[in-house]
Structure 1
Amino acid sequence: MQLKAALLKTTLLAVMAASSLATPQFALADAKPEIIGRLTQPVPDPSGIAVSSSNRVFLGFPRHADNHSWYALGELKNNKVEPYPDNKLGSVQNGNYQDWLVSPHGMYIDKNDVLWILDDGKRAGEQEIPEGAAKVIGIDTKTNKVVHKLIIRKPVLNSGSHYNDLRVDLSHGSQGTVYIANSGFKEHFSLVVIDIATDNQKEVLVNHYSTSPDAGFVAFLEGKPHKYDFKNQTFPLGGADGIAISPDNKTLYWTALSGRNLYSVPTAILSNFSQSESNIEKSVKFEGQHPANDGLAEDEKGNIYFGAFEQESLVKRDPAGNYSLIAHDEKNFGWPDGLAYKNHYLYITLGQWNRLADLNGGKDLRKPPFLVMRVKVD
């Protein structure tokens, strides 16, 4: 075990060595991950996760890779998932896409315990995203009622987009501003910004270097190398994916699914609809490198958490740019997906997305149960 820990530390140091920041300092973890959910059929792969101030755990079950008929949104209670907030919102309906969750992906809970859900609007086997399907829904978890519905409209709506994750900034706009990371279904990458009160929306940084995959990206998954090839995909890939916001809501961070560079932009500029695209591009800041990851999470101290899929680990970046290993689990952390931080715990969904049949020559390598885990980080 000591040898494995030393090798893991060496790997993480190598990944970070190219950072423009000072050489990061690492600490190895002794935290023990805890399984809080073992999801078996008919429950599909979980992706998004959000946790309320009272430690209620909410899960999303997207349909863009597996067009399932189970509920698309649930609450985890005593190792079982119950449809949330009712049997209707997450159930498949005919048409009326604006009235139900087609394929919820990213999730976020704000300081008022409003659960924000990003619906990418895409179902496996369908080429287009119907109008009304891609949207952001806000649910007050204290009343379990829908209080916001923001439809992503044309020309911002693009069927080549994959609306992957979101953050909500309550300090800009009279009711707040939503920031969306678009990792791309068809090599269309960007950020999307929506003013909650006015419903003004815009797409920015389209195929910009900060939202696009790194050229020549290669990842190692479960011991095997995979090269970025959009026409012959052998692992989950894409552009802007992981997204996080600073505790003071002044800075938005994001990473590319197929990349190792962390970027940021001031929210005062991003949320301002009078700012030009060129000004936004000039405001993008390179924040150094990081382990290749899917989802991000952040805490009230300004730490950012990464699901490091190559190292099968959870990693923390502090505000000074130093990295530490939170937990390593070779057995279960094959593809850390959704992350959420709440009350000193980091929560994680493990949907085994890299084992989908479409990515493995038609052979489904997933092995349920799908796990939901947490680990104490303080």
Structure 2
Amino acid sequence: MCLPVLPLEKYFGQLELVYEFYGAMPTGLTVSETGRIFVCFPKWGDDVPYTVAELVDDRLQAYPNIEVNLDGQGDMAASFISVQSVVADGLGTLWVLDTASPNFSPPKIGGAKLVAVDLEMNTISKVYTFAEDVVLPTTYLNDVRFDFRVGKAGFAYITDSASEGPGAIIVVDLDSGAAFRRLNGAPSTTPDPYFLPKVEGKVLMNRREDGSTSPLSMSADGIAISPDGKKLFYCPLTSRHLYSISTKALRDRTIPDEELSYHVEYWGEKGASDGMITDAKGAIYAGDYENNSIRKIEPDGRIVTIAHDPRILWADTLSIGPDQYLYVIVNQLHRQARFHYGRDLRQKPYSLLRIRVDELPAPAS
């Protein structure tokens, strides 16, 4: 008997494989203005020999060297502990965001930091550490964006994606090093209490080895900045909503934090996203981890799905290279043991994919 061929879901988008990861699970990714590719590996339970690496000649190597990646081998401010995000600013610097929070433990005092690495010399040029009223015991430093057109040395904007404490945008004056929390616990940086994520057809929630369960709850995570630096876009991880705010308002400390939410603009639903990135024309690219997709959000708010592929098993960080490709880390984050009663369902390799978008990244200067 000949069985009928039934219709199948349609997949699309010309994705190319750049690299396969057979070791630790990667999260952060960035492509420099010269095409160098950097990746980071936070310490979430895998064997992590180095938490920041460069992809050189199709091989990973510790960056800027193995010594800096040896946690606990000296000054915590001068060594990488557990890095969540790496961002090349297009001006010769790699910025490294160190959570100092292995396995989501409270951040190590003096270890949570933003580090500038000179890409020509391959050496650390500056380190920004944070006071205890900025990096709280619940803080998880997630991602960062820059604007060097304001202030004496520019400003950085960091998402705090705390799962048990308040989410926030942390603003850093790169000249003085002063940092402060904004939108602390505001509705726009807080997980959507009505959101129930579904990935690969199943509800995603914390499922512990002892059989107990709880909803997945992660605050402000994805972040992107407009090409002129005037608007910051962000989203909680457990939400489908997109928000923006004037960076001028974020920096203006005369606006009380309880009034700052009045400056927030709501852009509607864009899908549930992890990382985001902006191109030079102001379009935002974001993953949709519920639908194995990558979305493009035009400046007027229109949304186009540019890739829908079964290989996009949790699009984590995105970066646009000088070759006008969008690069994306796919890491099966939702298959980790903490979501499946202690059973690790991830299948190696994790992947670095890319898709042609014919646009350059938004400039930071």
With the length of structure 2 as denominator, give the TM-score of the two structures: 0.90
Aligned to 2:9, which of 4, 7, 14?
4
Q: Secondary structure at 1:294's aligned position in 2?
A: coil
Tell me the equivalent position of 1:37: 19
Give the conservation status (yes or no) of the 8 Å contact 2:245–2:265: yes
Instruction: Check 1:226–1:127 CA distance in 2 against 1; reply closer, same or farther (3 A cut).
Output: closer
Written as runs of structure 1 = structure 2, the 5 A alignment for 1:162-173 is 162-173=140-151
Tell me the equivalent position of 1:258: 238
Alpha-carbon shift at residue 55 of structure 1 (Å)? 1.1
Tell me the equivalent position of 1:23: none
Deviations 1:75-97, CA, capped at 9 Å, x for gaps? 11233111111111222224622
Written as runs of structure 1 = structure 2, the 5 A alignment for 1:173-184 is 173-184=151-162
Deviations 1:137-169, CA, capped at 9 Å, x for gaps? 111212212122100221112120111111111
Alpha-carbon shift at residue 238 of structure 1 (Å)? 0.3
Question: Which letter maps to 2:9?
Answer: K
Tell me the equivalent position of 1:207: 185
Q: Secondary structure at 2:102's aligned position in 1?
A: coil
Q: Secondary structure at 1:98's aligned position in 2?
A: helix
State how many pairs are aligned: 349
CA distance in 1: counterparts of 2:215 and 2:316, whole angstroms: 17
Q: Secondary structure at 1:133's aligned position in 2?
A: coil
Tell me the equivalent position of 1:232: 213
Question: Which letter maps to 1:77?
Answer: V
CA distance in 2: counterparts of 1:190 and 1:177, whole angstroms: 16
Pairing 1:291–2:271 present? yes
- Of 99-108 and 48-57, deviating more is 99-108
Pairing 1:218–2:196 present? yes
Deviations 1:288-324, CA, capped at 9 Å, x for gaps? 2111011111111101001111110111001011111
CA distance in 1: counterparts of 2:277 and 2:260, whole angstroms: 24
Tell me the equivalent position of 2:36: 56
CA distance in 2: counterparts of 1:340 and 1:2, whole angstroms: 34
Tell me the equivalent position of 1:369: 349
Unaligned 5+ segments in structure 2 are 1-5, 359-365
Give the conservation status (yes or no) of the 8 Å contact 2:30–2:37: yes
With the length of structure 1 as denominator, give the TM-score of the two structures: 0.87
Tell me the equivalent position of 2:87: 108
Alpha-carbon shift at residue 280 of structure 1 (Å)? 2.2
- Of 279-288 and 317-326, deviating more is 279-288
Tell me the equivalent position of 1:26: none
CA distance in 1: counterparts of 2:329 and 2:275, whole angstroms: 10
Deviations 1:41-92, CA, capped at 9 Å, x for gaps? 3xx11100110111111001111x2263410100112331111111112222
**Structure 1 residue ranges, 4+ long, deviating more than 4 angstroms after superposition:** 227-231
- Identity across matched positions, percent: 30
Question: Which letter maps to 1:295?
Answer: G
- Of 136-145 and 259-268, deviating more is 136-145
Give the conservation status (yes or no) of the 8 Å contact 2:204–2:339: no
Aligned to 2:65, which of 69, 81, 86?
86
CA distance in 1: counterparts of 2:353 and 2:297, whole angstroms: 20
Give the conservation status (yes or no) of the 8 Å contact 1:98–1:132: yes
Aligned to 1:131, which of 109, 129, 142?
109
CA distance in 2: counterparts of 1:173 and 1:86, whole angstroms: 32
CA distance in 1: counterparts of 2:8 and 2:307, whole angstroms: 16
Tell me the equivalent position of 1:275: 255
Alpha-carbon shift at residue 129 of structure 1 (Å)? 1.5
